[in-house]
Amino acid sequence: MSNERALDRQKKLIEILSLLHEGGNFEEAKKMFDESFSDVDVSEITSAERELIANGLDPSEIQKLCTVHAAVFKGSIKDIHHSNYEHEVPGHPVHTLKLENIVIRSLLTDELQPLFERLAKGELNLQERIVNVLKDLYQIDKHYQRKEVLIFSYMEKYGITAPPQVMWGVDDDIRDEIKLMIKEFSNPDFIINQLREPLLSMIENIEEMIFKEEEIMVPMVLEVFSIEDWEQIAHDSFDIGFAFIPNPLIYKASKEAKEKSLENEPRRLAAIKESIAFSDAQKMSINQEAETKEKTMFVELPTGRLNINELKAIFEVLPVDLTLVDAQDKVRFFSEGPERVFPRTTSVIGREVVNCHPPKSMHIVEQILKDFKSGEKTTAEFWIDLGPRKIYIRYFALRDEANNYLGCLEVTQDITQIQQLDGQKRLLD
């Protein structure tokens, strides 16, 4: 079947189901189906139902009208709503997790992103709606709690420790991102252009987590967890609660499912060994992921935000050399420009700054720091000849909003070419 034909069938099925759920006439829906289809696959029905849920239909309504669906589509309830896979039974923790993910995707793609684009085009009255959508999205906390407290616990029980550690950290990051977006969009003086990147980053992280849950975690745990594990997880889930959807049906494995699980027990035990091996391999990459995360961390500043790579790039192109000395007179940082006036190596980090200067100038450095700490001076400047070059050296006292001394910033610049400037230059050569 071509993609275009499959899409047309999907649209028609959604139209028929929508008619039924809006209280439309059964005979009319039946006629629409008979005129458009000779048969229909179970997966097509399920896909259409999920589309309706994504567009706001209460998932419990699907179950309530399953008999009507069966009659319209010439099947039985079992054909449509019973799967060969136990985890697709309503109430099973995996089924519940995926239902919640459908709503999460809908909130992101059908609500949050379109509202933001309209806000960016000037519809400022949508600010409160975006805040409400973000607050609604924070229900994701319950979704993650069930995963972390229940599913992760059973994974660790079977020796699968690395994936939960990685995913839990990302869950926490997403929580923080949502809270930050709520705070930023609640600010009446928000700057829309500064919020686009962090908002899109948050959305991308949530979508990636959905992928990790459904395509990595779920297949792994389905191979490893027993029927009894799933029943207990389903039972305990009610203690934590659910996100975006009404309480699901109470899951109880069927007799057939229990019999099948006994047959699959050798395979399950083998899968546990494989999963442990996979987990061990994952542990080796945790440090690498942590390093990558550190490189993409953002530094929040009063006038914007920069990630570490951007900040590093700025220091590398500045036409000055910077050295930061903390309040205890120890070197904490220096910039790495392409042509530093005075060479620096990382061995200088942590050293007493006076020991980084020749003995004949130590007393000058000590006096500068003393004056900065007392508040007698806030700047000091010198200029020296270094061969044919003129070097301009300035020191600035650093203080916080409460006027507490934070340290000293040394700024060194080769001003030889600047001194030679004459007239004006207005055109780009």
List, in sequence order, every beta strand (DSSP E) within 311-355. 321-326, 331-334
428 lies in some domain? no
Its pTM stands at 0.49
pLDDT band at residue 268, thresholds of 50, 70 and 90? confident
pLDDT number for residue 66: 47
Kindly state whether residues 45 and 120 are assigned to the same domain. no
Q: Could you give the CA distance from residue 198 to residue 177 in angstroms, rounded to a whole number?
A: 8
Q: Single out the residue in 50, 73, 96 at which a domain terminates.
A: 73
Q: Could you give the CA distance from residue 255 to residue 122 in angstroms, rounded to a whole number?
A: 59
Kindly state whether residues 278 and 135 are assigned to the same domain. yes
426 lies in some domain? no
pLDDT tens digit sequence for 342-357: 777 676 788 788 877 6
- CB count, 10 Å around CB of 140? 22
Kindly state whether residues 62 and 96 are assigned to the same domain. no
Q: Single out the residue in 268, 283, 298 at which a domain terminates.
A: 283
For residue 356, CA distances in Å to 179, 323, 365 come to: 44, 12, 10
Kindly state whether residues 114 and 64 are assigned to the same domain. no
pLDDT exceeding 70 applies to what percent of the chain? Answer: 77
pLDDT exceeding 90 applies to what percent of the chain? Answer: 38
Mean pLDDT confidence for 321-350: 83
* Contacts (Cβ under 8 Å, ≥6 apart) of 424: none
Q: Single out the residue in 73, 105, 121 at which a domain terminates.
A: 73
For residue 135, CA distances in Å to 21, 107, 143, 181, 183 come to: 28, 11, 14, 9, 10
Q: How buried is 125 (Cβ within 10 angstroms: 0-12 exposed, 13-18 middle, 19+ buried)?
A: exposed
Average pLDDT value over all residues in the chain: 80
pLDDT tens digit sequence for 292-309: 555 557 787 888 888 888
Asked if residues 12 and 36 have their Cβ atoms less than 8 Å apart, the reply is yes
215 lies in some domain? yes
Residue 359 belongs to domain with CATH number: 3.30.450.20
Q: Which domain holds residue 366?
A: 306-420
pLDDT number for residue 215: 82
Residue 120 belongs to domain with CATH number: 1.20.120.520
pLDDT number for residue 109: 93
pLDDT number for residue 4: 67
Asked if residues 70 and 82 have their Cβ atoms less than 8 Å apart, the reply is no
The better pLDDT of the pair 129, 169 is held by 129
pLDDT tens digit sequence for 66-78: 445 555 554 433 3
Q: Could you give the CA distance from residue 234 to residue 307 in angstroms, rounded to a whole number?
A: 41
Q: What's the structural domain count of the chain?
A: 3
- CB count, 10 Å around CB of 118? 15
pLDDT band at residue 186, thresholds of 50, 70 and 90? very high
pLDDT number for residue 258: 80
Kindly state whether residues 98 and 69 are assigned to the same domain. no
Kindly state whether residues 337 and 271 are assigned to the same domain. no
pLDDT band at residue 83, thresholds of 50, 70 and 90? very low
